[in-house]
Structure 1
Amino acid sequence: MRIALSGSIATDHLMVYPGRFADQLVAGRLEHVSLSFLADSLDLRRGGVAANIAFGLGLLGLRPILIGAVGSDFGAYEVWLKEHGVDTESVHVFPAHHTARFVCTTDAEHNQIATFYAGAMAEARTIALAPVAERAGELDLVLVSPNDPEAMLRHARECRELGIPFASDPSQQLARLDREEVRALVDGADTLFTNEYESALLLERSGWTERQVLDRTRRWVTTLGAAGSRIRRADRPTLEIPSVPTTAAADPTGVGDAFRSGFLAATAWGLPLERAAQLGSALATTVLERVGTQEYVLDRAELALRLTLAYGPEAAAEFAPHLARAL
């Protein structure tokens, strides 16, 4: 199964503040906020939503196609992605720009304050999907993830025109999209991804009810942090899947992207939705235990043990032949 991932490719600047953001917020003064947090550490990491998801899929043996816009500083990052199974031939380089930057500070309770600089990503709207599909032979799924908003809308529209199934992950860009734009990203999506907060924001921005959203997408997958994930479908029972627990949480950045990698890989292998969410949760916990979104490795025995402890030996056995081929 050929999966293409359209979205952001970025460098992450990750800082840790040892206190609580909430302690610095003054009730009644939130309309005029001027705060500075003294961070204890700074890590520079590879990131970007599409690149993170592609990295996870590459580790799982799917050779995903990455689609995005980068600057002239992308060389070393491209080598890294290729070494980890990602097809980067559809990444466009715009030498006049820097690759996008994600600057994020995380507090002691894993709350985050972040700023994203688009840089070359603003040029992603010029990238067409038809040449990608022609080069790849056939695309079975395109994930439209956070990117330049015009690029997201273009790629969803092109998928409908070309008859390519697409998954929609509007994520952080929901704050930038108006009602018709949100509806355009939802309508006809094979899978809709959100976290719990984005789920409520999507309903508010689209003006649709939950039922109206479900009538326009085959399934709606919502991550719930430590509570796991939820899969909703029209006229079908809701699936509630617990997370894979950990006692070694380090950094939540990229956890949702890792979940999507596992979920998409499992569905590409033809596994049921419950299993897809379980593999997504296992990868999410693996990333949670490390600083950086692409600093993890996947070990077959370790992953099988996580799945067994969280979901039982039957689940682990169902994954076993796929993991044996991938890892």
Structure 2
Amino acid sequence: MMAKRSRRSESDQGDLRHRPVMLAEVLEALSPRDGETYLDGTFGAGGYSRAILEAAECRVIALDRDPSAILGGYDMVAEFKGRLTLVEERFSRLGEALDGLGIERVDGVVLDVGVSSMQLDQGERGFSFRLDGPLDMRMGGDGPSAAELVASLEEKALAAVLRTLGEERRAGAIARAIAAAREEAPIETTLQLADLVERVIGKSYDGIHAATRTFQGLRIAVNDELGELARALFAAEKRLAPGGRLAVVAFHSLEDRIVKTFLADRTRTLPGGSRHMPETAVPPATFRAPIRGATKPGDAEISENPRARSARLRAAIRTDAPARGGDPFAFGAPRLPHELLSGDAS
């Protein structure tokens, strides 16, 4: 995508925000061919979709849960004369999106996980701790906002969100400070929250804002990003044709761990067990991995675009074995507090 998704510091500016991260590697993983159909689950500004369409006379179905991303892509739809179709939808529901278009199978799926640069650049969306705006963080505009979670979650639940999803070591202290502050006045803007966190932790001198992990944890919770990713992997498994290719770019260990665990399970062919436990049968592998492990960006790309430093690409090729489906919690998606899972922030 032109606007790549990252959890690095917001200090990166300019055109670097709008470069597709690991584009060459993603294209190599997908290997677009004439006449085939590909699904871009995170359209953003269309960087991956454009590259796929330019690489072959193929069709791309592009999804995004953010209506502003869809609106911004209509010029590209006209440019590619019917080969690009945009759908406002979560990538976990890619199966439903394909059903709506009468498409049973696709030949490739690409997912670029996290928050988009466009969202960070718009203070009114509430993602940025450097730009003032309402404390929103909703990618699609539905469900409780970050402000609602900050206002309503009990202190322990709030600390759990910051610790688990934000990997914030001072989660308890931050949650206590939030609980005390909201007794005096609502926390409704991004700079209110960012300033509060900075008072608790102190200023950072390594270029990473003190509120980075707090904002990360709230954003992942608001959008159920890890659950969405796990469900998207199951959906891709069901809708990829035999020989179809999956490419997932993650920027954070929480995301990458889910992809790694899923693919390790789906490519495993040896029976489980140990000397203390009997061997267990293994269903046929639904994917094979052309390259084991994650691919990292090259030094040249990192030098030109520091945002790419944390990116990890994992790719796999669909076999003809039946899809298995599964429980997202089995692959590392955390169990959030009940209030978040139910969508009830009251």
TM-score by length of 1: 0.28
Higher-Rg member (1/2): 2
Structure with bigger strand share is 1
